[in-house]
Amino acid sequence: MDKRLTRRRVMRNGLVLTAAVAVMGPLSMASPAEAGESIDSITLALPSIPERLFIPQAWSTQAGAILSLVQEGPLTFGDDLALQSALADRWERVDPTTLKYHLRSGVKFGDGSPLTADDIVATFKYHMSPGSQSLLAAFYNSVESVEATAPDEVSVKLKAPNVQFAFTPAHMAGFVFKKEQLADTKIGTAQALPLGTGPYKLVEFAPTERVVLEARDDYWGPKPVIKKITLKAIADRPARLLAMQQGEIDGAFDLAISDIEQWKKLENVDIKTAPSLGVYTLTLDHSMPPFDDIHVRRAVAYSVDRKGLVKALLKGYGEAATALNPPEMWSGVLPAEDLSAFYATLLDHNSFDLSKAKAELAQSSHPDGFDVTIPASNSDPYMIDIMQSVVENLKQIGIRASINPIDNNAWLAQYFQHEHLGMQIMAYYPDFPDAANYPYLFFSKDQATQGGMNGSNFRNDQVDASLKIANENPDRKKRADALKDVFKVADDDVAVVPIFWPDTAMAISSKYNFSGYTAFWYSVPWAIRGFGLK
Amino acid sequence: MTGSSLMVVVMRRIAVAIPLLLVISFGVFALVHIAPGDPVRSLLGARTSDPVTLAAIRARYHLDDPLLVQYGKWLSQVIRGDLGVSIQGNQAVTSIIAGRLGVTAFLSLMSTILVLGLGILLGAVAAFRHGTWLDRLVVAFGVFGVSAPTFVTGIFLLYVFGVMLHWFPIFGPGSGFLDRAWHLTLPAIALAISVMAIVVKITRAAMIEELSRDYVMFARARGLSSRRILFAYVLRNSLIPVITAAGLIVVGIVAGAIYVEVTFSLPGLGALTIDAILKRDIPMIQGTTLLFAAFVVLTNLLVDVIYALIDPRIRFCRVAS
């Protein structure tokens, strides 16, 4: 059977959703290294290195960048972001609330001990136990129980059907620990470096400064091409550029798009970009004046120059958002051509037109405008710049808007406090690519509360009913129809005002190939994803 | 002055310092609480969370208790020698501080040596060549240094000596004494340049004054060499204002280290404090500010002791009163 065909079909089917889907073996995950090709050592920069390497208590992109080389989950994301097998060589949805993962044989931890079903059960239970205070507990909210049903089989019982749980074993929440290590209170410190089944093991950890990883000979998957990887923290953006220029580092992750032009001027440096699957959006509080008025919301939507912002701030590395979901989030649910046809129907008030904006405001209950202040994080690379443009446009139509730049923590805290919301700007990057992820967060009633993401206080019974179908029903067609309905209603009602979908960028010395850079690079063993000498 | 009176004065000063540290720690505690923000948000970022877990985390750090109760719990820990557990990464504050202390201490010491050594030398040279181009050059350099922000000087030094000349590394603290000194040379210079002007100016002014005194003229009349006059008489007498200012200078260097550590990607206490403040990591902020406050108090005490030792005319009772 043609493997490519199978993979595509699997993806189309919503990845999982037919029974007993066998996913590909490790060989298809990355182009295997040419015989004899190997890189002795590379050094890459991250904006920071965590104080502790223990994802349940230090959950960040940076922790993922390091630990995704050391630890793996039962599943992983392929270069096309579809789910692939990892520690589980196959898995199936036995019934709508039962998932079974069959363990690959011969997998070993970095200390040589074999992986068992108990390790996976212990990891899942660790996140589920309130006592361990795992920051990723929310990913396991839908789980009723988890148990080893055979020496090489783990069964997960869900409280109710939940399609999104399928992704949990593939991202950081699914990284498997050795059971005994989870009892060690020092895990993640230099005294107790976390073990994993991944292609690398940690050999040195200087908290907040650097980590050194060494390739394992006994890794079950493709042989790592790079023998030794050093990741160093360089917080200062200009210093990172100078370090690359001087050759102290071979590359850097997490570049700000606004710096890309400078990086491109360096010799022998390649810039890799990929859609981040993130979104910048405005939320407008539907429960309070003035944004309870549809005409006011439309006026705001017409006042955002999305294309201009993509050009000015993202230098083209990103796309103007026609809806909340970036196109890649629909993979496995709606084919690209159907999606663009659907998004074309939503285009109307997501276009920039100040005369239409003025006309809408004139029709509203606030024809003379109003005052509004929008809090924005001063450490986000784009937020304040976006708001400056939006505020100027709003002033032109008579809305007296101003920005309140505050530090990131204060901004997050006030957003999730869920009081006096008014107009807010939010930047969100997802943990997994599912079409129901964003609409659930931004449009569901559940989230229109303190600690929730629905800053618009958007409440709509039809949307909640359709979201329930999309969250519970594995059938691709039913999900697609339900989600299209959600987006249609949300768009008609201007639930949010999406702005753009930015790319993510990294720099790498042009000596090397790195074909596997994707939105979820920090959740997959990136160093074995198409990394090699040119 | 006897040794025992010195001891009494030192003990008295320490006794005064304790309520001062309490006031500072409470002030910082209250300010962090007044400032908008939420420590738990830093753990989660822009993510929704499981309410039960969230409540458990808040309970662990007593975040929902009234301010005074929280402070009381923190204080009772501190009295037992425990600075608590950081919210970021859930680790003992003392062990994190201990891990970071080395870089900041090394950097500050190197910088202090540069500031005092080079600053006094330049000040002395300027005073000795008072009114010449050399004097004006030294003063201009000092003014330039004090006016340029440390992060700008830092990036400039990085570019010239790191990127163009390849003499020094761009980032990181290095390991082992020599490697660390090599890594910290540029940061120490960047830090020193911003503070050195004060030492240069004070030394220069004091020396010009001393040089015009009668005893210098007599010494010259007796045919003593310029070098002897400068080092044996003038310098020692000019040092008193420098020593007085040294407390301020050392404190200024440690405060300046915060910028320098960020510019040069050094994992020191300054970078730790900034990060803790940005993330509202209350136990960590309390730990580092307490340490800084204690350092300032002790430095000033030490300066007063040295002050008395250099100039025996100064009596401690006068200093203390």
The reply to whether A235 touches chain B by the CB within 8 Å rule is yes
Q: pLDDT band at residue B248, thresholds of 50, 70 and 90?
A: confident
DSSP secondary-structure letter at B85? Answer: B
The yes-or-no verdict on residue B275 having pLDDT over 80 is: yes
Angle at alpha carbon of residue B77, lines to B73 and B83, rounded to 5°: 115
Place of tokens 């458990």: B56
Which positions ≥6 away from B281 have C-beta within 8 Å?
Answer: B39, B42, B86, B87, B88, B275
Q: DSSP assignment of B220-272, as one string?
A: HHTT--HHHIIIIIIHHHHHHHHHHHHHHHHHHHHHHHHHHHHHTT--SHHHH
B2-14 confidence digits (pLDDT tens): 566 778 878 888 8
User: What are the residues facing A533 on neighbouring strands?
Assistant: A512
B65-123 confidence digits (pLDDT tens): 899 999 999 999 998 989 989 988 888 999 999 989 999 999 999 999 999 899 988 98
Q: Look at residues B94, B80, B103 and name the one whose alpha carbon lies nearest to residue B291.
A: B94
Closest partner residue to B278 (CB to CB) among A246, A407, A426 is: A407
Peptide bond into A194 cis (omega under 30): no
Q: Tell me the residue type at A518.
A: T
Tell me the CATH architecture of domain A3-21+41-268+510-533.
3-Layer(aba) Sandwich (3.40)
Q: Look at residues A390, A487, A33, A405 and name the one whose alpha carbon lies nearest to residue A226.
A: A33
**Secondary structure of residue B92 in the 3-state scheme:** strand
> What's the gap in Å between the CA of A220 and the closest CA on chain B?
31
Which positions ≥6 away from A111 have C-beta within 8 Å?
Answer: A178, A195
Long-range CB pairs of B52-60 (<8 Å, 24+ gap) are: B52/A130, B52/A137, B53/A130, B53/A133, B53/A134, B53/A135, B53/A137, B53/A138, B54/A451, B56/A130, B56/A131, B56/A133, B57/A133, B60/A133
Place of tokens 């912002």: A309
pLDDT value for A36: 53
Note whether B265 contacts A236, CB cutoff 8 Å: yes
Q: Any idea where the domains of chain A sit in the sequence?
A: 3-21+41-268+510-533, 279-503
pLDDT value for B3: 62
> What's the gap in Å between the CA of A305 and the closest CA on chain B?
25
Cα(B6)–Cα(B162) distance, integer angstroms = 48
| Range in A238-252, A305-319, A339-353, A383-397 with the lowest mean pLDDT | A339-353
**Secondary structure of residue A365 in the 3-state scheme:** coil
More confident site: B166 or A230: A230
The reply to whether B173 touches chain A by the CB within 8 Å rule is yes
The reply to whether B60 touches chain A by the CB within 8 Å rule is yes
User: If you average pLDDT over residues A154-168, what whole number do you get?
Assistant: 95
User: What are the residues facing A512 on neighbouring strands?
Assistant: A533
The yes-or-no verdict on residue A17 having pLDDT over 70 is: no
Note whether B48 contacts A138, CB cutoff 8 Å: yes
Residues 329-388 of A with CB under 8 A from B: 379
Cα(A383)–Cα(A389) distance, integer angstroms = 10
More confident site: B147 or A406: A406
The yes-or-no verdict on residue A293 having pLDDT over 60 is: yes
pLDDT value for B57: 86
Cα(A317)–Cα(A263) distance, integer angstroms = 14
The reply to whether A134 touches chain B by the CB within 8 Å rule is yes
Interface test with A, best of B58, B64, B85, B90 (most A CBs within 10 A): B90
Closest partner residue to A236 (CB to CB) among B43, B173, B262 is: B262
A470-492 confidence digits (pLDDT tens): 999 989 999 999 999 999 999 99
> What's the gap in Å between the CA of A222 and the closest CA on chain B?
33
User: If you average pLDDT over residues A318-328, what whole number do you get?
Assistant: 94
Q: Are β-strands A21-22 and A88-95 bridged in parallel, bridged antiparallel, or unpaired?
A: antiparallel
Chain A residues near residue B263 by CB distance under 8 angstroms: 236, 239
Cα(B39)–Cα(B47) distance, integer angstroms = 14
Interface test with B, best of A46, A236, A447, A522 (most B CBs within 10 A): A236
pLDDT above 70 coverage of chain A, percent? 93
Residue A37's CB is within 10 A of a number of other CB atoms, namely 10
Backbone angles phi, psi at A489, to 5 degrees: -65, -45
B132-175 confidence digits (pLDDT tens): 999 999 888 888 888 888 888 888 888 888 888 888 887 788 88
The yes-or-no verdict on residue A409 having pLDDT over 50 is: yes
User: What are the residues facing A143 on neighbouring strands?
Assistant: A158
Q: pLDDT band at residue B312, thresholds of 50, 70 and 90?
A: low
B296-311 confidence digits (pLDDT tens): 888 888 888 887 777 6
ipTM of the complex: 0.81
C-alpha separations of B238 from A411, B223, B226, B229, B300 in Å: 52, 21, 16, 12, 19
The yes-or-no verdict on residue A3 having pLDDT over 60 is: no
The mean of the pLDDT values for chain A is 90
Q: What is the dihedral of CA B36, B38, B44, B47, to 10 degrees?
A: -50
pLDDT value for B49: 79
Angle at alpha carbon of residue B124, lines to B121 and B127, rounded to 5°: 150
Q: Look at residues A40, A66, A44, A42 and name the one whose alpha carbon lies nearest to residue A53.
A: A66
User: If you average pLDDT over residues A318-343, what whole number do you get?
Assistant: 92
Q: Look at residues B247, B240, B245 and name the one whose alpha carbon lies nearest to residue B209.
A: B240
**Secondary structure of residue B40 in the 3-state scheme:** helix
Residues 81-120 of B with CB under 8 A from A: 86, 88-91, 96, 99-100
A92-143 confidence digits (pLDDT tens): 999 999 999 999 999 999 999 999 999 999 999 999 998 888 999 999 999 9
The reply to whether B176 touches chain A by the CB within 8 Å rule is no
pLDDT value for B244: 80
Cα(B145)–Cα(A353) distance, integer angstroms = 51
More confident site: B152 or A447: A447
The reply to whether A208 touches chain B by the CB within 8 Å rule is yes
Highest mean pLDDT among A129-133, A150-154, B256-260: A150-154
The yes-or-no verdict on residue B320 having pLDDT over 50 is: no
Place of tokens 């985390």: B57
The reply to whether B152 touches chain A by the CB within 8 Å rule is no
Q: Where are the beta strands (DSSP E) in chain B?
A: none
The yes-or-no verdict on residue A26 having pLDDT over 80 is: no
CATH value of A279-503 in 3.40.50.300, 3.40.1280.10, 3.30.160.250, 3.10.105.10: 3.10.105.10
pLDDT value for A6: 41
Highest mean pLDDT among A284-298, A344-358, B245-259: A284-298
pLDDT value for A514: 93
pLDDT value for A497: 96
B284-295 confidence digits (pLDDT tens): 999 999 999 999
Q: Are β-strands A496-509 and A318-320 bridged in parallel, bridged antiparallel, or unpaired?
A: antiparallel
The yes-or-no verdict on residue A337 having pLDDT over 60 is: yes
User: If you average pLDDT over residues A356-368, what whole number do you get?
Assistant: 95
Interface test with B, best of A48, A127, A209 (most B CBs within 10 A): A209
What tokens does B195 get? 């503070």
**Secondary structure of residue A504 in the 3-state scheme:** strand
> What's the gap in Å between the CA of A36 and the closest CA on chain B?
33
